[in-house]
A and B are shown apart, each in its own frame.
Chain A
Amino acid sequence: MAEAGRKRSAQRRGISSWLAQERVFRLIPFIMVEGLFLLLLATPFVLTVYISLLKWRANRPFEMAYFHGLGNYARVLSDTDFWWALGRTFYFAAVAVSLELLIGFFLAMLAYRQFRGRRFYITIFLIPMMVVPVVVGYNFSMIYVDSGPLNQILAPFLELFGFNPRIRWLSYPAAAQWAVILSDVWQWTSLTFLIFLSGFTALPQQLTNAARILGASRWQIFWRVHLPLLKPAIVIAVVIRSMEALKLFDQAVLLTFGGPGTATETIAFFLWRQVWQFNKYSFGAAASVVLLVLFSGLIFYGIHLLVRERAIVQEEQPL
């Protein structure tokens, strides 16, 4: 009994001293990071790729799935609905992100200077970002009803120009698309505002002062001094918001459920429908991989822009 105890403690000492060796100790964080990577990222990804190579709808038990090669990929790439949904998503993202950048930039420009109540306004501008998307969807569905506040606000202006004051925001395809875009703009302008605000706040005051002493106008200061210095912030805002906007799902579901027809069916919604409504798990997996490849290209390009901007800024910074 005592002998066994001694053996165990000697073994423990052996492991501890092995772990304490520097070459082993240095590897521990690396192994942990790699382990987490394998567990959290690689495993689901490999599983997705594996499922994408099978023929499996969930209306058959998984045991009946069989190897299908690249069949699912061929189906995804030849599915016109997939491309339409993707095109629609890019359209939504392009319009929504452009508006968010413009409005966020303008608001940040107004809010970065010191004035009375500045903190209050900044807090107000940041609130939408913190609202749960489901609540945003519900609120906007109320705002968009025919007799709702938006139409009532717009009515006097529209009537002035002889237009029908009752816009059917969620019933007409084009209006429904704008309804989804506007709710996204309302929620996520806060983020671009925050990014730009931090950019504006970090502008070196001495450069502005120097430009002013040299006789530059306000416009010239903005255009020649501020805007170039804000480029990294702009790139960050574009990259982050674009990546998010391409995943647009909540508003499309909550406001219109992809309708009328398929007018607001985004790629995320299309995928959800294929997997959760039609049970096409392997098709969904293949579509996810295709999207991952497509979006990865965009993400890498975004990262490349970021790195480049940072390098330029570092080069331009005075020693």
Chain B
Amino acid sequence: MMKRILLGIIALAVAAGLALPQAFGQTLPGATVEERAINGAKAYIKKHNLKNPTLTVLQNALFKNAQPKYDRQWTKLTGVKIKSIPYGYTDIPSKIMAEAVAKTGQWDVFNHFPYSIPDAWGAGVIQPLDAFAKKGKPDFSGIESGLRAQQWYQGKLTFFLLDGDHLALVIRKDIADLARKDYKAKFGKEPGCPETMSEWEQMAKYFHTKKGQTRWGKKFDKPLYGSLAYRSINFSYRHFPAYFGGLLFDKDMNPKINSARGIQAIKEFASIVKYMPPDVQGWGTPQIYPFWGSGQAFSVMSFPSIVGYGNKNPKSTIKGQQITCMVPGVKVGGKLVRRSPQAAGAGWAVSRYSKHPELAYYFLQWLTAPTKGDEIIADPKGFWDPMRASNMTNPAVVSKFSKQMIKTTLANAKVATSLLMIEGNYEYFNVLDKNLALVMQGNISAKEAAKRVEAGWNKVTEDIGRKNQIKAWRSGVNSGAYIDKF
């Protein structure tokens, strides 16, 4: 008996001795995240004896001018060619879902936003990356929890994020300076970043100026709109969480919007529209950015890259005249709550039907690694926004965005919250957008809209399956992607 036990112990020791180095050996060689990704790709190519390996990327067309430079660098470093096929970002989710149904294996990488993950994951087209990450050891340090958590879905690493696309408020320094004295006399404080949404509206009202008016010693040949923000279908939902200031559902997926707080949020969301350009309900980024650059608005709530546009675009009339602010908050139980929704957030996922998911993974790890990531965020042709603490000390990033902007964006990142990360999110978004539009057009009251949104959301939840939705919602909330807890 003793002999058997002794033999067992020896066998276990031998197995452990063999397994331990192998376990350590799983981490790829390389001192940096980038080096490990490159070494991983080279080892993979060698192991599988690949000739002319190619990865096909479903590329967000917004980045088609900036991305090729990095694709070429990767090819040079590893020999892996990147075939990039650009599509508009509104088309990409349906392309991903089509791949989920057809399972062609034509895509290796999907370049989109985190909120496209839930449906794609449910459809089984997204490759979990945890096993590869174990080897590659990516580094997500310096990224605030609200942004970092968006890379996981239901506890699995599914997405690499490289874009702090959480909303910021930007105001005009030159106009604020002009009105400083008058504003202080009227409101008892200097014009600056507003604390709350209602204060922002108050500022918008004050600065709203008609064409031909002379104010603060300046004649306005064009109108100056007090505010500017996204208010069209497909965009409103990206801003609304900032007005709601908390979780949109309780732990059992019951909507919280049909409440005093929800109605107030809808009212505030719609009320400020009267100080925006009348066309704003039909506007997206192609209209909002140039309008802001033309100098016809006092304030704008937008993706942070609008600051880069205002400073660098040749046609901009507001260069050096922008103050980036933290997103205004709302009062919840007497406490100021700021929530900066991650309105887009470019990043990458790997297709489960890719022939070389591991190889695709290394490409993404390299792209989003701390040093390479900073270089990409600083790219003048790109729309990637600061998101890592290291951006603050990177001269190229500072030169593109200014220290003040990065500092504010990183402060906003602390309150950055994910958009709804559950299956069917587009349908939830659309229910909200449609009803917000009706309120903005004066067709229904905020109370009625809240009621309709609640009913619409419940309908979507039931259609997809409440049990499934509760699981995903709770998992998301527990991950910290929404900052708020139940």
Contact = CB atoms under 8 A, between A and B. Distances in A.
Interface stretch (B46-54, B116-124, B157-165, B296-304): B116-124
Interface stretch (A199-207, A244-252, A254-262): A254-262
B424 A171 contact: no
Contacts of B94: 276-277
B278 A257 contact: no
Contact of B232 (A59, A61, A168, A259): A259
Contacts of A257: 232-234
Contact of B93 (A176, A262, A277, A280): A277
Contacts of B124: 61
Nearest to B95: A276
Given A258-B233, A277-B426, A278-B430, A58 B437 contact: no
Contacts of A62: 101
Contacts of B427: 277-278, 280
A23 interface: no
B464 A59 contact: yes
Interface string A259-284: 11110000000000100111110000
Contacts of A171: 278-282
A278 B426 contact: yes
A146 B124 CA distance: 45
A133 interface: no
Nearest to B426: A277
Interface in A55-90: 57-62, 75
Interface string B268-303: 000000000011111000000000000000000000
Interface of A is mostly: loop
Contacts of B101: 58, 62
Interface string B328-340: 0000000000000
A34 B94 CA distance: 34
Interface string A165-194: 000101101001000000000000000000
Contacts of A173: 441
B423 interface: yes
Most buried by A among B100, B120, B443: B100
B133 interface: no
Given A168-B279, A259-B282, A260-B282, A59 B430 contact: no
Contacts of B438: 261
B424 A260 contact: no
Of A59, A60, A176, most buried by chain B (CB within 10 Å of CB) is: A59
A58 to B, nearest CB: 5
A276 B430 CA distance: 13
B279 A146 contact: yes
B281 A58 contact: no
B430 A261 contact: no
24 contacts: A57-B463, A58-B97, A58-B100, A58-B119, A59-B120, A59-B424, A146-B279, A171-B278, A171-B279, A171-B280, A176-B282, A256-B282, A257-B233, A259-B233, A259-B437, A260-B282, A260-B441, A262-B437, A277-B93, A277-B94, A277-B427, A278-B427, A278-B430, A279-B426
Interface of B: 93-94, 97, 100-101, 118-120, 122-124, 232-234, 278-282, 423-424, 426-427, 430, 434, 437-438, 440-441, 443, 463-464
Given A261-B438, A277-B94, 4 more contacts: A57-B423, A59-B118, A276-B97, A280-B427
Interface of A: 57-62, 75, 146, 168, 170-171, 173, 176, 256-262, 273, 276-280
